[in-house]
Structure 1
């Protein structure tokens, strides 16, 4: 998407998701109260949905304008870029962060990198194959998988409609609620010697979270069409979504991030890692409200330029927020009630200032790259000198 075609509200929403994720992952006393601030939905769901929406818009347009091969190549190149980012983050975690954690004997790091510290060679090889995904480093691997399979879903949806794609996605999500991932893991261990435990392969159940990606692709592809008409939700649906979203918002801040006492089966319905059904309903209610009131929000919501800046440089900022969070955990440990406010304030200030610097540097680099591309595409013409005018 060219700079002049960007929608500022999408960049601002991505920036907001990055801010919320950073507040959640930095080990300060704000992590718990600002985690899931809009109900039983986290910033991760919003970020995945927005990323898929942008991918659906950008790559379906590329397929229409430049052909399917160009679209497939773009997806593959993006996956390679994500893979390079993941390798860099893993290398940083396995060297600098592990070293600091061992020297400081910080449980937050030794626990997070426990499998690597037990079996460093196996962990390194497995991480390079996107199999071993310690906490905080387990989102980019599923992004890479989504990028690699997205051309199939997008091309089928563009050619034959999205009902079949969404139906298959719902079946996979349903299976994930009843242990599809662990069952496939057990099947694989019957054929291969798997040194990894299932829990070391990442907290996100990919068969559940793919549903969000497919929904985002579908919406992005649909909204990219020139004849697209904005969705009109019936009044009862909007009122129901508003009531449900408000109830979840009040309940979350009244009782905390866990809706029921420990041990209650209801909590599984809100599970983040499996994208439980009640959590999904909460997310869809918020999605209906955002889509229904989008025009009003664009007209009346203030434009917070820092959020747009962060959103425009989403990938570098996302990676930077993981670096900052890992460093904070290694140096200060997990959040503790007795820690002075001044320490938490320092962590937050340094963390967000680092994200801002990364965003500005990334955008400046992109502008320079765009300028070089324009110069190559439109080289200045040769100016004839007076002596050569008659040649």
Structure 2
């Protein structure tokens, strides 16, 4: 997505989310301590919320300036691009990564691609239909579905208001907490022999995570309106959010990524894959604080060009980080405390060097395309006869 005037702070935040995701997915000693560093919230929540916000910001403006059809086409083309990326990643995983894992007998990858190794044809067909989504490769499919349904959500929200949309989205999220997704899967597949299990669809609950997407879409659309005002929160709300965020941060780093070991019922309230209620509260508290302190932070924090570059090329960098993570898993296996620290440094240095190189190339390519398009739009400058003599 490109806007006429990019907001560097949004690019930097997306870049930060990509760095945190890479640190989590690269199999090194930093995977665990860098997972959920701000509380019981991961980089995935921030990335989805930011992506939805930017989609609402950009595509609602497209709808107002150019009409509904160009906006729908923009969403569809973006979804098509995401689908092409997903197919490329699947091909990479099912060929090179699977081969490396089988030769090296690496359990980290053979476990990840277990269904594919057992039933390769079924796995390839179902993966191309976005039904089979192994770990690490289960993020883009929900993004694709969200992009495809976004034009309907966006148009309804812009024409009829967002209350009904948000209420329905909240009901679906609530249903996900009580197993609505698996119940629908069992109902839809109860009439025929389905080779896939519900868990093969991917770890992320689409019904749970759609709320975060719809919420971000609503915020981006609201902030794109010509008469949009800066959001101000009451002092009591900011104070409550601050207490919740600090408490979650301290608890996470004192206890660990599992809030209450031995109490699965309570831990389910913080569940990442279903976007549990206490986790969602943590997300909203951090988002409110970020929005409240954004002007102050924007004035005082230095700009980090590397993060902005990564954020500007979010999709290529995201795909590249999965390639690096899969290669590292295939070659070195999961993170182990007994592994030489030099191996972890090699993974981190090579991985982040590759991500930044991909980002620089993608940004440079996009800028060249934009300059070429602008030149073609303006056309050549023709001089009058008197000027050429």
Q: After TM superposition, is the score higher than 0.5? A: yes
Aligned position for 1:149 = 149
User: Over residues 144-186 of structure 1, what are the superposed CA-to-partner deviations in whole Å (9 max), with x where a residue is unaligned?
Assistant: 1000000111001111111000000000000000001100110
Taking the aligned partners of 2:190 and 2:117, their CA distance within structure 1 comes to 26
Q: 1-side partners of 2:354 and 2:114: how far apart?
A: 28
> What is the distance in 1 between the residues matched to 2:87 and 2:294?
38
Cα distance in 2 between the residues matched to 1:273 and 1:198: 13
After TM superposition, give the deviation of residue 110 of structure 1 in Å.
0.1
How much has 1:295 moved relative to structure 2?
Answer: 0.6
Aligned length: 389
Q: Report matched runs for 1:247-258 at 5 Å.
A: 247-258=247-258
In structure 2, the residue matched to 1:356 is 356
Aligned-residue Cα RMSD (Å) equals 1.4
- Provide the residue aligned with 1:236 in structure 2: 236
Offset, 1:209: 0.1
Q: What aligned pairs does 1:352-391 form with structure 2 within 5 A after superposition? A: 352-383=352-383
Aligned residue in 1 for 2:177: 177
Deviation, structure 1 residue 226: 1.5
1:79 and 2:55 aligned: no
Name the residue aligned to 1:117.
Answer: 117
CA distance in 1, matches of 2:149, 2:41: 25
After superposition, where does 1:289-300 map in structure 2 within 5 Å? 289-300=289-300
Which sections of structure 1, spanning at least 5 residues, go unmatched? none
Indicate the SS of the match to 1:233: coil
Distance 1:239 1:384 in 2: 67
CA distance in 2, matches of 1:279, 1:293: 21
Q: What is the alpha-carbon distance in structure 2 between the residues aligned to residue 192 and residue 241 of structure 1?
A: 48
1:205 matched to 2:205: yes
User: Any idea what the Cα deviations from partners look like across 1:314-345, whole Å, max 9, x if unmatched?
Assistant: 00000000000000000000000101111101
Distance (Å, rounded) in 1 between the aligned partners of 2:193 and 2:384? 72
For 2:18 and 2:90, how far apart are their aligned partners in 1? 20
Secondary structure in 1 matching 2:283: helix
Give, in angstroms, the shift of residue 231 of structure 1.
1.2
Q: Which runs of 5+ in 2 are unaligned?
A: none
Q: Matched residues in 1 for 2:74 and 2:63: separation?
A: 10
How far apart are the structure 1 equivalents of 2:83 and 2:202?
Answer: 16
CA distance in 2, matches of 1:184, 1:273: 17
State the 4+ residue runs in structure 1 displaced beyond 6 angstroms. Answer: none
Residues 3, 58 of structure 2: 8 Å contact kept = no
* Superposition deviation, residue 264 in structure 1: 2.9
Instruction: Supply the distance in 2 between the matched residues of 1:216 and 1:384 (Cα, whole angstroms).
Output: 52
Q: Does 1:64 align with 2:74?
A: no
Q: Distance in 2 between matches of 1:369 and 1:109?
A: 38
* Alpha-carbon distance between aligned partners in 1 of 2:370 and 2:19, rounded to the nearest angstrom: 27
2:225 is equivalent to residue 188 of structure 1: no
Aligned ranges 1:242-391 → 2 under 5 Å: 242-383=242-383
> 2:54·2:220 contact (CA, 8 Å) conserved in 1?
yes
Give CA deviations for 1:268-304 in whole Å, capped at 9, x if unaligned: 0000000000000000000110111111111011111
Distance 2:378 2:103 in 1: 55
Moved more, 94-103 or 373-382: 373-382
How far off its partner does 1:384 sit? 5.9
| 2:10 paired with 1:10 | yes
Provide the C-alpha distance between the structure 2 equivalents of 1:113 and 1:241, rounded to a whole number of angstroms: 41
> 1:192, CA displacement in angstroms?
3.0
Q: Which whole-Å CA distance do the structure 1 matches of 2:149 and 2:2 have between them?
A: 24
* Structure 1 position 99 matched with structure 2 position 117: no
Q: How does 1:16-55 map to 2 (within 5 A)?
A: 16-55=16-55
Tell me, in whole angstroms, the C-alpha distance in 1 between the residues paired with 2:33 and 2:78. Answer: 35
Deviation at 1:191, TM superposition (A): 2.3
CA distance in 2, matches of 1:2, 1:142: 22
Shift of 1:262: 3.2
